[in-house]
Structure 1
Amino acid sequence: MTEGLSLRERKKIQTRRTLWKTAAKLFLERGYDQVSVAEVALAAEVSKMTVFNYMSSKEDLVLGPMQEHIGDAARAVRDRHPGESAVAAFRRDFMAALQAHEASVGMSDDPYVLQVRRLIQETPALLVRAHEYARRAQTLLAEELAAAEEGPDAELAPVVAAQLMSVRYAVHEYNHRRLFAGESADEVLPGAVALAERAFALVEHGLGDFGSLPAGAGEAHTGTARTGKTGAE
């Protein structure tokens, strides 16, 4: 990840990682609201000003790694192969991340990563910030999709972006639900891949008759609703 970077750039990355790890350790031990930025700076042996040179807010001391992945979806579409659809490129990138057990798609079973994830879920300020990052990622994807289209198709870019990101988030939540239940990433992976394949197929080919009621079911339901009685009554 740091290959080709200057010494100064590598030091910046190392400092940022040190701040993340130090802050997360304190937050997990004492609670997010019980630890100040000044205390994080002291534990990391830097000044408070240094912390804010690297992080724009206290929330970013936890969510910084997530922030680094905001542009992943847009990048996957932008770098798609000649003749490759946006859906195919997005799917290929997402599937590779699943196979690599990346935390960005919820496939890491590292105890530390799961603890931080739980901290985010249980801390309103962090959850709000995480949702802001998710919205930003979707906006960047929509902009990338629109840039490659013209006219009516460009206007559909936000719709397509929403559908693709919904697959990402749904599988992400599926992974965490099973990981939090005690399963390993290796145990979760087959189900995650199967769910993602089916979800991407829906996006690629359309919802079609998904969720259709059996023939006659709608009429029976309507009749019951209209009379307020069942056949037995």
Structure 2
Amino acid sequence: MVERMGLRERKKRDTSLRIRRIAIELFVERGFDEVAVAEIADAADVSKMTVFNYFGSKEDLVFKPMEEHTGDLARAVRERQPGESAVAAVHRQFLEQLAARDASIGMSPDPLNVRVHELILATPALLTRTYAWSARGTQLLAHELIAEADGERSSPDEAVARCAAMQIAAARTSLHDEIHKRRIKGEGVDEIYPTMVTLAQKVFGLVENGLGEYAVRR
């Protein structure tokens, strides 16, 4: 993808990454609430307006890359193969992200990924937005499952779909949390990988045993 990007796009990407990295370093050093956007702009040698051109708000400096993955669960289910359950599709997606060392699940070897997670845990406002982001992803998954059901919105099928979405999302969240916990302890992504593959089998297996016959594509 990088090879297909033109010079203008590469410069914009590099500027965005540089601004965000500098912002995260400042947030970690002094606290999220203690750093003004103007200070970030000065440190990055850009204007305050440039920062807002790339990031709509101060919180976006932390969350923008994460929130690009809000629809991952729904996408996994929407694109699953015939005969593949919703649980199996999300499990497969998670294994693919593990293998790719995907930053969206905490598997990037870049130390910045760990710093972002520590920052979120230490900042109530950011933690609140994390919960909202997670809830939105679960909601999108539920809507995907509901769209496949033939019943009305008030039918029992909607309640079942929401229950399934919450269980699937919780399974993946528990795995994300385990990755972040191990990364904070200093474990490398290559060290974590085989353990997480095994753990994913166990975690999604728990859900599969209860939801294995649910939402199997015909």
TM over 0.5: yes
**Cα shift readout 1:80-114 (whole Å, capped 9, x = no counterpart):** 12332222111110111112222222333432221
Q: Which amino acid aligns with 2:199?
A: L
Q: Residue 156 of structure 1: SS of its match in structure 2?
A: helix
Aligned residue number for residue 185 of structure 1:
189
Q: How do 1:40-79 residues align onto structure 2 when only pairs under 5 Å count? A: 40-79=40-79
The answer to whether the 8 A contact 1:2-1:10 is kept is yes
Q: CA RMSD in A?
A: 2.2
Q: How do 1:80-95 residues align onto structure 2 when only pairs under 5 Å count? A: 80-95=80-95
Q: Which amino acid aligns with 2:180?
A: H
**Cα shift readout 1:6-51 (whole Å, capped 9, x = no counterpart):** 6655554333323211211222233222210111122223322232
**Moved beyond 6 Å, runs of 4+:** none
User: Structure 2 stretches of 5 or more lacking a match?
Assistant: 212-218
The answer to whether the 8 A contact 1:106-1:175 is kept is yes
For 1:43 and 1:85, locate their aligned partners in 2 and report how far apart those are by CA, in whole Å. 49
**1:146 counterpart = 2:146:** yes
Kindly indicate whether structure 1 or structure 2 has the higher relative contact order, using CA contacts under 8 Å at least 6 residues apart: 2
The answer to whether the 8 A contact 1:70-1:133 is kept is yes
Aligned residue number for residue 106 of structure 1:
106
Q: How do 1:1-233 residues align onto structure 2 when only pairs under 5 Å count? A: 1-2=1-2, 9-151=9-151, 152-206=156-210
User: Structure 1 stretches of 5 or more lacking a match?
Assistant: 208-233
The alignment covers a number of residue pairs equal to: 207
The answer to whether the 8 A contact 2:106-2:113 is kept is no
For 1:2 and 1:75, locate their aligned partners in 2 and report how far apart those are by CA, in whole Å. 23
Aligned residue number for residue 231 of structure 1:
none
Q: Which amino acid aligns with 1:170?
A: S
The answer to whether the 8 A contact 2:121-2:127 is kept is yes
TM-score, reference length from structure 1: 0.79
Describe the shift of the 1:8–1:136 C-alpha distance in structure 2 as closer, same or farther (beyond 3 A).
Answer: farther
For 1:13 and 1:183, locate their aligned partners in 2 and report how far apart those are by CA, in whole Å. 29
For 2:165 and 2:7, locate their aligned partners in 1 and report how far apart those are by CA, in whole Å. 37
The answer to whether the 8 A contact 2:106-2:114 is kept is no
TM-score, reference length from structure 2: 0.84
**Cα shift readout 1:170-218 (whole Å, capped 9, x = no counterpart):** 01111222222232222222222222111211212218xxxxxxxxxxx
Describe the shift of the 1:166–1:3 C-alpha distance in structure 2 as closer, same or farther (beyond 3 A).
Answer: farther
